[in-house]
Amino acid sequence: MQWQNKAPAKQSNNVAFMHGADSKLTDPPYPSAEEASTVRPRKLVFLHWATVLCVCFAATFILIRDQVDGRVLRQWLLEGHRHFGLFVLFLFFVRVVLRIRLGKLPSADNASRIVHILAGLTHIALYALLLALPMLGWALSSAQDKPVHLFGATLPNLVGADEDLADTLQTWHVDAAWLLLGLVTLHVCAALWHHFVLRDGVLRTMLPRRRR
């Protein structure tokens, strides 16, 4: 009788063990305890990837516009480019406010001080361009005497109509776009280097995660 009482308990333990093994196989990977301490806040991660999407859409719309014919379609693509540019501008201010509220974030790697300084300068340059590009585009439209709309509302002009100023702003806007592309490429390469070469979990700290 004693043997019969112990058997079910042993079987139950085996089932529990198998269930635990199953969950390890099926559950998505989560950061280790060390990585979890440096995982960025969900709001910051969301704003990061929302900005990425808006920049990609803005670039895609303006590049497609240069390749198509038809006044209506070209105007629609230009409006789309402007809208996503304004979204980037809005997200920029939200991100700045959030970063100020969060304060200094813990470092996710053990890189040298010089590397951290260079990474910080790169981030500052990226933030500056995310502010400058939409503002230059907005001012460019104003200089060309073309109203800027956002969801049907007409935004105020930043500068007066001026053809020479418009040419200058056009050059600055394009140069800033190329500079942003270069810094984004550098940023992506650095993230991939951390993930595949250094394997320090830096990239995983900025990936969207489900709540456990």
CA distance 40 to 134: 26
| Tens digits of residue pLDDT in 28-48 | 444 454 444 467 789 999 999
* Cα–chain center distance at 175: 21
User: Tens digits of per-residue pLDDT, 113-154?
Assistant: 888 888 889 999 999 999 999 999 999 999 999 999 999 899
Superfamily (CATH H level) for 31-206? Transmembrane di-heme cytochromes, Chain C (1.20.950.20)
Residue 206: other Cβ atoms inside 10 A: 14
Determine the Cα–Cα distance for residues 123 and 114; give it in Å rounded to an integer.
Answer: 14
pTM above threshold 0.95? no
- Under a CB-based contact definition with an 8 Å cutoff, are residues 126 and 184 in contact? yes
- Domain locations in the chain as residue ranges: 31-206
Instruction: For the chain, give the mean pLDDT.
Output: 83
* pLDDT the model gives residue 18: 42
Closest CA to 212 of 21, 39, 16: 39
Q: Which H or E element spans position 148?
A: strand 148-150
- Measured CA to CA, the distance from residue 37 to residue 16 in angstroms comes to 30
Alpha helices in the chain (DSSP H): 2-26, 33-36, 42-65, 71-102, 113-143, 163-193
